[in-house]
Structure 1
Amino acid sequence: MDNESQYSGYSYKSSHSRSSRKHRWDDNWGETTTVVTGTSEHSISNEDLTRVTKDLEESTPLECKRFIGPALGGCLSFFALITPLAFLILPQVLWRDALKPCGTPCEGLYVSLAFKLLVLLISSWALFLRPPRATLPRFFVFRCLLMVLVFLFVASYWLFYGVRVLEPKEEDYQGIVEYAASLVDALLFIQYLALVLLEVRHLQPAFCLKVVRSTDGASKFYNVGHLSIQRAAVWVLDRYYNDFSVYNPAVVNLPKSILSKKMTGFKVYSLDENTTNNSTGQSRAMIAAAARRRDNSHNEYYYEEAEMERRIRKRKARLVVAVEEAFTHIKRLHEDEAGASPKHPREVMDPREAAQAIFAPMARAMQKYLRTTRQQAFHSMESILTHLQFCITHNMTPKAFLERYLTPGPTMQYQQQSGRGRQWTLVSEEPVTSGLRQGLVFSLRRLDFSLVVTVTPLPFLRLGEEFIDPKSHKFVMRLQSETSV
């Protein structure tokens, strides 16, 4: 049972923080980044993000709440599984001598009960005991309904067992075994119902979700089945970390030189009749100047973008050449080559030492490229060395090493393995346990951006059929006097 409270607040953890160690060729790798938002400037450093992350994570609920649902499901499943066994054992313990002998029919029922209980055990583990991948703000209605149904079934069987078997001390042991077998059959049917409601019902696509990131407008379309709002939100976040490129607040804003310009015009009025003409002329001149500044702003933006693209291409070319040259100094040592040239011994290094050795020549080009593309916040020097060590260990080419830095990767690539810092706030005008419907809009918010989801039902398709006679595929050529054929 997913009994979790709604998230309030936000915890953001950068996937890579600035390396605390100082290197001789790298003094300012994780420099402070200035982000322009709206009409004001905010200076956000990696230390500030780390401090905010720590403060917010201390206020988040404990991780043990993730296991409340599986724990309750496990206890209820264990109680349901031992109930048929208890029905069979209690008469043997309490009034064994008074029971009527039960031969071959009971033995067949024993085998059937054993296999059915094994199926129940495996299916209960698959449906109810899996650790959840996300915490939901409200109960999962179908799962709660199924667990309540199981509890009512088992409690009802215990009630009738106490009244019909325990109190009168029923002597017909075959009837007791059949009674336990009927409970197992009922539990199996509940498992079939759980499979349909939890795993099968949402497989057929019924709605189209348009997911838009509020800051840079990145959007994706997904087809989903009949889900509640909170489960659709979890489904969207699963796809977001894989399909959306990482959000970089440093590249979604206009240049500061354009944002700092004042684009407003003023009209000046005077109550003195003698100065009316002069004031009117001044106001017209100011309005004309503001219009000229407004017209020139897009030209300035165009040329700044062109200059930025030229610089990026230049930095990229230098980085590619530097990496290619650095990789030429590394060669995997084979045993036969090591024994073939004893006159010219070479220094043998492990992958970490080799990565540090070849990173020094390419460090400056890498640093300038990351600063130009504004990716320095996502790639610390330690992470680059680790990736370089990985590429050297697996004998990968320079292009394989550069792939991570030349193109922005998915959000999952920049997340830490701990899984922390992925808290979202679900905002919806409808109850989050409600199902998806046409025109529904909900959002998933974080500190610096949000995902806006719009729901549209898939259209009903009417597919007709038209038969084409194979004999109709015959053609003739029309010849005219001026045709060259």
Structure 2
Amino acid sequence: MLKGISPSLSLLQDDNWGETTTVQTGTSEHSVSNEDLTRVSKELEESSPLECRRFLGPGLGAVLGLFALVTPLAFLALPQLLWREALEPCGTPCEGLYVSLAFKLLVLLISTWALFLRPPRATLPRFYVFRCLLLALVFLFVASYWLFYGVRVLEPRERDYRGIVGYAASLVDALLFIQYLALVLLEVRHLQPAFCLKVVRTTDGASRFYNVGHLSIQRAAVWVLDQYYSDFPVYNPALLNLPKSILSKKSSGFKVYTLGEENNTNNSTGQSRAMIAAAARRRDNSHNEYYYEEAEMERRVRKRKARLLVAVEEAFTHIKRLQDDEPAASSPKHPREVMDPREAAQAIFAPMARAMQKYLRTTRQQPYHSMESIINHLQFCITHNMTPKAFLERYLSPGPTLQYQRENTMGRQWTLVSEEPVTSALSKGLVFSLRRLDFSLVVTVTPLPFLHLGEEFIDPKSHKFVMRLQSETSV
């Protein structure tokens, strides 16, 4: 399962949000069925293992990395604690190795923090192969060094301390090389584009194209979801249906048969054919009706938009930012009420509320914008000296899905569906989908073509021209 984040928006929101302040939730306040309680408890049970899996991998990696960093220090400290009197003096060479070892450990610590100790943004259905390979490699290196250290140093109580310091320094060098390998496999390998991903939303057909490198299917799915929340417009089911007038007329075209006596067979057949022909003509004219319905809708949207622009412009003229050199107190000649941004937003929202409500209802965006969210956005625009057009930018065109994310909303789970194992690399013709309750994202993989770039030399002396004169030419 893959986690994503999307707004839980109810399409049953009251159309008169500007006149009422009732907050609607997904379940009724007075009646909760047993099925709803069972569903909620099941979701809570399924969310707990996912939260554990979210931190299990980074936790194990952090423990193994800390153990690998402490191991060289333990190699140096154990002889000093167990048989210090029997050690041979090392002198200046060991001091130089100490400095080198300290700087290498510092670099290793910072690079490990930057590369590995990052909070995960998604849970993958399978283990990340390269990360597991690197962790296994680190474990094998550290275990092998501990094995040889126990056999060659601890058991015979080695007296050459300079060799012990060099042995610890060699382990740090090996860990640095593994760190370089991790940087290549995890960060550099997929930077060069190799495949083109076509992402299509199954409901409204919204699509985008992305170039990616060599990724596994599950990592490509996470990358697609990251781009989806910022690039795709918000999913609005209300825009998918045809107008009700068209649907009602299309549904009325049924074939009707009249059952009667044998002497009325010809008349009933003629009536049936006439009704069938009329229904066919109505179906043929449905595209014209749809065309005029769309034109009427565009006219209404332009009308509502113009009224909204005028209302917002007039509302913004009623407030003015109080300058520092102006008196804060009200004077008898020029009464002025000093307000904070919240109060100013509530004051100028009333003149534009009706125009805003009608525009959002016409464009079917009202479920995504509550009165409280509009006031908060208006307060933000007033605080930062934004113009009315900057305020209306959010409502004149549907924004990305991430813009409608609500606070304290758990991210929805995505299901990765693929015929190939999700740990497999992307390949030509591969198709996988990311499913959610209300729609899916279908991803098609196409390799980028190999480019043959040739070279052709053009002699600068070849750029010479002559005038071709004809008898009809006026020159």
1:237 alignment partner AA: L
Q: CA deviation at 1:47?
A: 3.2
Gaps of 5+ in 2: none
- 1:443 touches 1:450 (CA, 8 Å); kept in 2? yes
CA distance in 1, matches of 2:9, 2:274: 52
**Which range is displaced more, 280-289 or 198-207?**
280-289
**How many pairs does the alignment contain?**
463
1:187 matched to 2:175? The reply is yes
Q: Could you tell me which amino acid in structure 1 is paired with residue 282 of structure 2?
A: R
1:201 alignment partner AA: R
In structure 2, the partner of 1:420 is 410
Determine if contact 2:198/2:445 at 8 Å carries over to the other structure.
yes
Q: Cα distance 1:213–1:18, how it changes in 2: closer, same or farther (>3 A)? A: closer
When residues 419 and 120 of structure 1 are mapped into structure 2, their CA distance, relative to the original with a 3 A threshold, is farther
In 1: Cα distance, 2:77 partner to 2:275 partner: 97
Deviation at 1:304, TM superposition (A): 1.3
Moved more, 207-216 or 308-317: 308-317
Q: Deviations over 1:301-353 (max 9, x none)?
A: 11111111111111111111111111000000112232798442311000000
CA distance in 2 between partners of 1:309 and 1:141 (Å): 52
Query: C-alpha displacement at 1:265, in angstroms?
Result: 5.2
The ranges of structure 1 where at least 4 consecutive aligned residues each deviate by more than 4 angstroms after the TM superposition are 10-13, 15-20, 48-57, 267-276
Deviates more, 1:441-450 or 1:258-267: 258-267
Aligned to 1:98: 86
Aligned to 1:27: 20
Aligned to 1:433: 423
Select 2:396's aligned residue among 406, 411, 431. Answer: 406
* Cα separation, 2, equivalents of 1:311 and 1:146: 61
Which moved further from structure 2: 285-294 or 246-255?
Answer: 285-294
Cα pair 2:2 2:122 within 8 Å, conserved = no
Give 1:167's aligned residue: 155
In structure 2, the CA distance between the partners of 1:59 and 1:301, relative to structure 1 (3 Å rule), is farther
**Deviation at 1:279?**
4.5
Contact 1:355 1:389 in 2 (8 A): yes
Q: Which amino acid aligns with 1:163?
A: V
- Report the counterpart of residue 26 of structure 2 in structure 1: 47
CA shift for structure 1 position 271: 11
> Partners of 1:361 and 1:476 in 2: how far apart?
72
**In the alignment, which residue of structure 1 is the partner of 2:270?**
281
Q: Deviations over 1:343-380 (max 9, x none)?
A: 42311000000111110111111111111111111001
> Match for residue 361 of structure 2?
371
Are 2:78 and 1:78 aligned? Answer: no
Q: Distance in 2 between matches of 1:475 and 1:254?
A: 62
Task: State the secondary structure of the residue aligned to 1:336.
Answer: coil
Instruction: Give the Cα separation in 2 of the matches to 1:17 and 1:86.
Output: 62
> Is the contact made by 1:439 and 1:454 (CA closer than 8 Å) also made in structure 2?
yes
| CA displacement, residues 209-231 of structure 1 (integer Å, 9 cap, x when unaligned) | 00001111011000000000110
Deviations 1:145-167 (A, max 9, x none): 10011001100110111011101
Distance (Å, rounded) in 1 between the aligned partners of 2:77 and 2:417: 53
TM-superposed deviation, 1:134: 1.1
Match of 1:294 in 2: 283
The verdict on how the C-alpha distance between 1:75 and 1:28 changes in structure 2, with shifts beyond 3 A counting, is closer
Q: Mean alpha-carbon deviation: is it higher for 423-432 or for 201-210?
A: 423-432
State the SS of the aligned residue for 2:209. strand
The answer for the alignment partner of 1:235 in structure 2 is 223
Distance 1:317 1:46, change over 3 A: farther
Whether contact under 8 Å (2:145, 2:171) holds in the other structure is yes
Does 1:213 pair with 2:213?
no
Matches within 5 A, 1:222-261: 222-260=210-248, 261=250
In the alignment, the residues of structure 2 paired with residue 173 and residue 416 of structure 1 have an alpha-carbon distance, to the nearest angstrom, of 62
Cα distance in 1, alignment partners of residues 351 and 259 from structure 2: 68
TM-score by length of 1: 0.89
CA contact (8 A) 2:128 2:423 kept: yes
Q: What does residue range 309-348 of structure 1 map to in structure 2 within 5 Å?
A: 309-338=298-327, 342=331, 343-348=333-338
Report Cα offsets for 1:259-316 as digits up to 9, x if no partner.
2332765485989875553444234223212211211211221111111111111111
Of 21, 44, 48, the match for 1:58: 44
Alignment partners' CA distance in 1, 2:278 and 2:139? 78
Instruction: Give the drift of 1:15.
Output: 6.0
Deviation at 1:27, TM superposition (A): 2.3
**AA in 1 matched with 2:95:** E
Q: What TM-score results when the alignment is normalised by the length of structure 2?
A: 0.91
Secondary structure of the 1:250 match is helix
Specify whether residues 17 and 288 from structure 1 end up closer, same or farther in structure 2 by C-alpha distance, changes over 3 A only: closer
Taking a change above 3 Å as real, the CA distance of residues 112 and 89 of structure 1, as seen in their structure-2 partners, is same
**RMSD of equivalent CA atoms:** 2.8
Alpha-carbon spacing, 1:267–1:324, altered in 2? closer, same or farther (3 Å): closer
Quick one: which amino acid aligns to residue 287 of structure 1?
I
Unpaired runs of at least 5, structure 1: 1-5, 31-44
Q: From the superposition, tell whether residues 11 and 353 of structure 1 become closer, same or farther in structure 2 (CA, over 3 Å).
A: closer
Give identity over the alignment, percent: 79
Q: Which of 435, 438, 447 matches 1:448?
A: 438
* 1:397 equivalent among 371, 387, 395: 387
After TM superposition, the structure 1 stretch with the greater mean CA deviation from structure 2, 432-441 or 264-273, is 264-273
- Larger mean CA deviation between 188-197 and 341-350 belongs to 341-350
Q: In the TM superposition, what is the alpha-carbon distance from 1:207 to its structure 2 partner?
A: 0.3
1:472 paired with 2:462, answer yes
Indicate how the Cα distance of structure 1 residues 57 and 315 shifts in structure 2: closer, same or farther if over 3 A, else same.
Answer: farther
Q: C-alpha separation between the residues in 2 aligned to 1:419 and 1:362? A: 29
CA distance 1:377–1:456, change in 2 (3 Å): same
Deviation at 1:124, TM superposition (A): 1.1
CA contact (8 A) 1:16 1:383 kept: no
* Residue type of the alignment partner of 1:166: L
